[in-house]
Every structure is written in structure tokens, then in C-alpha cells.
């Protein structure tokens, strides 16, 4: 069921007391880069020109390279206090969506973002829609409507990221309900799986112990969601030494704006067809939207970019109700013209004889990105990271992309390569480009099957 937007419920955190309102912004600088991020970038920023279908390139080697440190300067603040800085004018200032917002250096490294999105994927697999009956909103917010566990997990992750929580606490927040009786596995097995997947995040104890700290105890009385969320977030933040807090660029108002968007996205995609995760498994549309949103907020993007990333598929026909016209109206009314413009700039033409075949629809977006600006390119990069991961799972299990994409393996590769060049030219944050490169390399390794 789709729940219409209710502006009266958008300030629930402020009304009920935010668990970390006193110190919403972290106190220290960004985390240091992981050893993985010593890899060199393989293309220098530059200006690319619009392409034609015939001009899409095969894999090639580029001669220019930049180090991680040099690429980090694309988004590094100039203020000694870490204040946000304006776009440096690389993008076309005459574009309808090129007046890119202020941005800061990424909060999390490539490996951090990988751990956070892996935790989200794990949660999406075990927190099925029927595991939501005992977490409810208070009547004045969303009367008697259960909060699905996946929405709860993403909401808590967003709270923690905005508060500058290190990676292991964000992972624990996402998985806070795995020991609360909602999952059909015994605790010993879950402990083993979680520590195997995320054990390297903590050298002072087990991730499962941190999750256990905030797990809901069994009780016949339903939790009120706002109280539950405040307890989980405040308990985890209380465990973080002040010196370990990351410096967050977000305010309480930013958080309220993004959490309102998160709820709206979940309501909108509630009945959307799931996306394939390999040939034999699916994950909800909300997982893909949330993954994009967490990648963007974790890389320190402006709130409008995060919200547009959460909603980037709104205009592509994944839901019958509300209609596209209604969605556009809602987005403009509740989230602003900037968010609408970003979504519209990266929306593929609808399928139909007048809009061309698969490659022509993809090319329409590729060509628009040359002048769409850094923010639009950053959203598409985050989206394609998620999409390529899905395709790579399909290739790993199935050996081909039949059933996943109307384009061939090589058609997709050509588009992915061209997009990569455009992302670099538009100075997409390096933590995202690095993650994109990893998925692109995985895609290329399947070439022997074609």
C-alpha cells in the first residue's frame, strides 16, 4: 500500500527528542584512507564530448593517472575548519542542473562504504517484509502502521552517519534487530555469519557483541518506533569515544529532510517489482534506492543530492500509483525543484518505438551527463555501483546477462566504460569512483565467457 506524503509527520524526531541533537556534528576529521585506496586512478580529469552509438569504446588503457591523495582534493574543503566549499566550476554553468551544491570531503573510505552497503544487503535478505509486526509508529505519526525492519535499519544507519559514527557502529545499527527474534536462524549461527562478514571492522571486540548491545529484548508489548530508534542510536553513540567521531557536514534540519524522504521512498516503492539479485533471488526496490542514498550520504554529498539519489528511479515507471505527474508534483512540493531537476536529468526515456532501443535509451542519459553537472554524475555513479553489483551476481551465477538486461555483456561494458570517463571528468568523489572501478573490473573479468 502506498501512503501519501504527510507534511505533518516530517518533524517527528524534533518533536520527540533527538538522541544526539546536542552533538549532531562529529568532532574529528574524516577517517584515514584504507590501504586499498593506495590504488592509482587510471584517467585524468578532462573534458569529454557527447558520443554516438558507434563511438562507444571497448576496454582500453589510459596513460594518465592520479593518486588517491590528488583525487581527494576534488572534494577537500579549503577552510581550516572543514566548512563546505563550492563546486570548482568544472561543470557547464549554463546547464539546467549544473549549479552544483556545496560539498565536502567524503566521510567514509571505499572500504567503509563497502562494509555499510554489505550490511544493508545482508539486512535486505533477512529482514523480509513480514518481519515488521512488532515495531509501530505512535498514533500521532503513522497510526498502527508497522515499520518494516529494512526501513528501520536504513533510517538508523542514516541517523548514525549524520552523527559521524565510525563504520562498525553504522553496521551494528543496520543489523540491530538480527537478534531480536525476527530472523529464522539461531543466535549462534547468526553470530558466526556476522563476525565472518564484518569481523575485521573491530579489533577490540566482536561486531555481534555491539549488535547485541542494542538488540530488542523479547516482549509481548510492541515498541513505539521513535522510542526504539532513539534508544538504538543513543546507545551506539554512547559507545563512541569523542576522538573517533567523524566530522559530519549535516545539520539536524538536513537529517529531518533526508529521513522524510526515506519514508516517502519506502512508501512509494512498497509494491514495486523487486530487482533481480542473480537469476534465482530478488531484493526489494527499496534496497537499491537505500544503497544509493547511503553511498551518497557516506561520501558527504549535499542533502538534495542524497534525496535525489534515494528517488532517482521515481520517474521510470516502477510504480503505477502515484503516476509520474503526481510524483513530480510531490517531489517539487516536499523536496524542492533542485531534487526534481536532478532526478529528471538522469531519467531514461520511457520504453517505446519513439524512444529507441536499449542502447539508445542508455545513450540519452550518457549524453546528458556531459553537461548535467557533478551532482547528477555522482548520483548516477552511486546508482551504477548498485546496478553493476546486481549484474555481476547474475554473471557469476548464470554466466550471461540474459534475464537481467536487454543489452548484451559488451553493450553494457561499453556504456559502463563511457560513464566512467564522464564521472572522472566531472570530479565524482573518488571513494565512489574507486567502488565503481571495482565493479567494472569484475564485469570485465567475465569477458572469457563471451
Band (pLDDT 50/70/90 cuts) for residue 60 is very low
| Distance (Å, whole) CA 208 – CA 178 | 9
Phi-psi region of 317 (alpha: psi -120 to 50; beta: other; left: phi over 0): left
Band (pLDDT 50/70/90 cuts) for residue 7 is very low
pLDDT on residue 448? 59
| Pair 176, 214: CB distance under 8 Å | yes
Q: Does residue 378 sit in helix, strand or coil? A: helix
pLDDT on residue 130? 56
Entry pTM: 0.78
Q: Which residues, including other chains, have CB under 8 Å from residue 180's CB and lie 6 or more apart?
A: 215, 216, 217, 218
Cα–Cα–Cα angle for 283, 375, 76, rounded to 5 degrees:
110
Between the alpha carbon of residue 231 and those of residues 222, 226, 376, the distances in Å are: 15, 9, 36
Whether omega before 322 lies within 30 degrees of 0, making that bond cis, reads: yes
| Pair 422, 371: CB distance under 8 Å | no
Q: What is the dihedral of CA 112, 113, 114, 119, to 10 degrees?
A: 90
Identify the CATH homologous superfamily for domain 74-107+253-450. Hypothetical protein af1432 (1.10.3210.10)
Q: Which residues, including other chains, have CB under 8 Å from residue 236's CB and lie 6 or more apart?
A: 160, 165, 169, 172, 173, 210, 213, 214
- Domain residue spans in the chain? 74-107+253-450, 110-246
Average pLDDT, the chain: 75
Can you tell me the mean pLDDT for 130-141?
52
DSSP code string of 96-112: TT--PPPB---SS-HHH
**Per residue in 31-52, pLDDT tens?**
333 333 333 323 323 322 222 3
3-state SS of 113-175 is HHHHHHHHHHHHHHCCCCCCCCEECCHHHHCCCECCHHHHHHHHHHHHHHCCCCHHHHHHHHC
Can you tell me the mean pLDDT for 322-347?
95
pLDDT on residue 338? 97
Amino acid at each position: 500500500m502506498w501512503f501519501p506524503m504527510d507534511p505533518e509527520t516530517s518533524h517527528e524526531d524534533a518533536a520527540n527528542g533527538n538522541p544526539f541533537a546536542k552533538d549532531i556534528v562529529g568532532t574529528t576529521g574524516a577517517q584515514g584512507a584504507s590501504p586499498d585506496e593506495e590504488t592509482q586512478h587510471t584517467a585524468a580529469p578532462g573534458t569529454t564530448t557527447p558520443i554516438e552509438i558507434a563511438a562507444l569504446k571497448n576496454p582500453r588503457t589510459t596513460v594518465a593517472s592520479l593518486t588517491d591523495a590528488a583525487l581527494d582534493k576534488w572534494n577537500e574543503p579549503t577552510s581550516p575548519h572543514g566548512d563546505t566549499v563550492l563546486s570548482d566550476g568544472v561543470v557547464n554553468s549554463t546547464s539546467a542542473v549544473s549549479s552544483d551544491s556545496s560539498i565536502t570531503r567524503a566521510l567514509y573510505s571505499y572500504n567503509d562504504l563497502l562494509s555499510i552497503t554489505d550490511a544493508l544487503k545482508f539486512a535486505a535478505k533477512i529482514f523480509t517484509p513480514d518481519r515488521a509486526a512488532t515495531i509501530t509508529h505512535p498514533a500521532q505519526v503513522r497510526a498502527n502502521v508497522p515499520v518494516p525492519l529494512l526501513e528501520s535499519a536504513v533510517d538508523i544507519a542514516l541517523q548514525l552517519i549524520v552523527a559521524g559514527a565510525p563504520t562498525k557502529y553504522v553496521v551494528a545499527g543496520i543489523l540491530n534487530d538480527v537478534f531480536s527474534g525476527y530472523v529464522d536462524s539461531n543466535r549462534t549461527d547468526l553470530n558466526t555469519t556476522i563476525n565472518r562478514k564484518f569481523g575485521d571492522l573491530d579489533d577490540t571486540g566482536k561486531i555481534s557483541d555491539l549488535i547485541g548491545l542494542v538488540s530488542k529484548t523479547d516482549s509481548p508489548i510492541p515498541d513505539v518506533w521513535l522510542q526504539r530508534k532513539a534508544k538504538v542510536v543513543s546507545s551506539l553513540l554512547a559507545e563512541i569515544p569523542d576522538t573517533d567521531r567523524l566530522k559530519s557536514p549535516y545539520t539536524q534540519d538536513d537529517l529531518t529532510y533526508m529521513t522524510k524522504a526515506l519514508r516517502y521512498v519506502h512508501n512509494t516503492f512498497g509494491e514495486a517489482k523487486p530487482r533481480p539479485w542473480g537469476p534465482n533471488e530478488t531484493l526489494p526496490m527499496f534496497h537499491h534506492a537505500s544503497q544509493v542514498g547511503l553511498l551518497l550520504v557516506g561520501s558527504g554529498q549535499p542533502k538534495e543530492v542524497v534525496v535525489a539519489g534515494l528517488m532517482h528511479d521515481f520517474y521510470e515507471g516502477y510504480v503505477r500509483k502515484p503516476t509520474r505527474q503526481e510524483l513530480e508534483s510531490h517531489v517539487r512540493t516536499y523536496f524542492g525543484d533542485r531534487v526534481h531537476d536532478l532526478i529528471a536529468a538522469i531519467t531514461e526515456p520511457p520504453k517505446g518505438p519513439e524512444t529507441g532501443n536499449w542502447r539508445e535509451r542508455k545513450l540519452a542519459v550518457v549524453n546528458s551527463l556531459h553537461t548535467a553537472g557533478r551532482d547528477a554524475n555522482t548520483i548516477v555513479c552511486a546508482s551504477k555501483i548498485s546496478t553493476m553489483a546486481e549484474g555481476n551476481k547474475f554473471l557469476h551465477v548464470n554466466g550471461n546477462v540474459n534475464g537481467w538486461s536487454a543489452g548484451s555483456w559488451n553493450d553494457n561494458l561499453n556504456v559502463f566504460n563511457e560513464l566512467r570517463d564522464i564521472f572522472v571528468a566531472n570530479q565524482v568523489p573518488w571513494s565512489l569512483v574507486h567502488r565503481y572501478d571495482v565493479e567494472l573490473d569484475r564485469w570485465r573479468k567475465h569477458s572469457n565467457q563471451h
